[in-house]
Amino acid sequence: GQNIDQPTEMTATEGAIVQINCTYQTSGFNGLFWYQQHAGEAPTFLSYNVLDGLEEKGRFSSFLSRSKGYSYLLLKELQMKDSASYLCAVLDSNYQLIWGAGTKLIIKP
Amino acid sequence: DVKVTQSSRYLVKRTGEKVFLECVQDMDHENMFWYRQDPGLGLRLIYFSYDVKMKEKGDIPEGYSVSREKKERFSLILESASTNQTSMYLCASSPSALITYGYTFGSGTRLTVV
């Protein structure tokens, strides 16, 4: 079956760095997405990786290793507004998005 | 910016009622999706559509149907609402040729069935 694993919840301190991991086992791979979702709101697109390596976008970076079935989202200089759930999703061989359950990130002052 | 609009933010319905959830997008996207989101389970695909009048079952289609008579509108129908359909419902759209840009989601409808 298809499976995406990410931690349920993480806590970090304002100003610090946090890494949210995602491991996947899917039928085929056409890319991996990270979305941010604030409580009660819609998910919003953060990043897309299809090649191995690190993609940096401001305070957020996303890394992919296809051989290991692994990705992480790195958030630097954490701000209180980064408190949200972070969703990992993989585009499979049928171009269907398979979603992880999400990681709730709590930022403390 | 692409806008995906869901008709209601909050909805309370009685068991057995027929419920319509409407979704409209304004960027001429071919693909539209309906998900439900429950704590600890992530997003689960109910139905999707790649074109007008076309529909495909997702992972959990039981108890639901959809309608896509126009490209911009994708409706989700709960034929006879039940309490286990209490959930957050999210509509999304994407262009077929630019799937790597991801999906754009509506703000969601929180449905409570009593």
Which residues of chain B neighbour A89 with C-beta distances below 8 Å? 43
A8 and B40: CB-CB below 8 Å? Answer: yes
CA distance linking residue B43 with residue B27, whole number of Å: 23
Region A1-18: mean pLDDT is: 94
Whole-number pLDDT of residue B83? 97
Does position B100 have pLDDT exceeding 80, yes or no? no
Whole-number pLDDT of residue A10? 98
A87 and B99: CB-CB below 8 Å? Answer: no
Select the residue of B40, B44, B106 nearest A42 (Cβ to Cβ): B106
Q: Mapping DSSP to helix (H, G, I), strand (E, B) and coil, where does residue B11 land?
A: strand
Beta-strand relationship, A103-108 and A9-13 = parallel
CB pairs under 8 A between A and B: 45
Whole-number pLDDT of residue B42? 84
Give the total residue count for chain A: 109
- Average predicted confidence (pLDDT) for chain A: 94
CA distance linking residue B31 with residue B33, whole number of Å: 7
Region B8-18: mean pLDDT is: 96
* The dihedral formed by the CA atoms of A100, A49, A96 and B22, expressed in degrees to the nearest 10: 80
Q: Which of A7-11, A61-65, B49-53, B65-69 has the lowest mean pLDDT?
A: B49-53
Which residues of chain B neighbour A42 with C-beta distances below 8 Å? 4, 90, 105-108
Residue A67 contacts B where some CB pair is shorter than 8 Å = no
In which band, very low, low, confident or very high, does the pLDDT at B39 lie, cut at 50, 70 and 90? confident
In which band, very low, low, confident or very high, does the pLDDT at B1 lie, cut at 50, 70 and 90? low
